[in-house]
Amino acid sequence: MQPRFPLGRIFATPATSAVITAAIGGDELCAEDKQANENSLKDGTRLLSRYSTPGGSIYIITEHDRSMTTILLPSEY
């Protein structure tokens, strides 16, 4: 798919930026999700994090080979 226009630099709002920063640090996850992601870091499987925001939940998924991270709404999963 060819883009219809260039996006230029992409900026994140403070709320979404905070979620991304939390995901990188593993902060604000429940104990079960933290453990699952620790296991994923050790065995090289996909990482999945769910964060609650005032506007609803956001999922952040990093693929097993760490080549791509997707940020999406739960309804898009």
Q: What is the mean pLDDT of residues 39-53?
A: 90
Looking at residue 35, its pLDDT comes to 93
Question: What is the pLDDT confidence band of residue 39, given thresholds at 50, 70 and 90?
Answer: very high
Kindly list the distances between the CA atom of residue 6 and the CA atoms of 34, 41, 56, in Å, as whole numbers in the listed order. Answer: 37, 35, 29
Decide which of 36 and 55 is more confident: 36
At 42, phi and psi to the nearest 5? -75, -40
Using a 10 angstrom Cβ sphere, with 0-12 exposed, 13-18 middle and 19 or more buried, the burial of residue 73 is exposed
The pTM of the full predicted model, rounded to 2 decimals, is 0.75
Can you tell me the distance from the alpha carbon of 12 to that of 4, in angstroms, rounded to the nearest whole number?
21
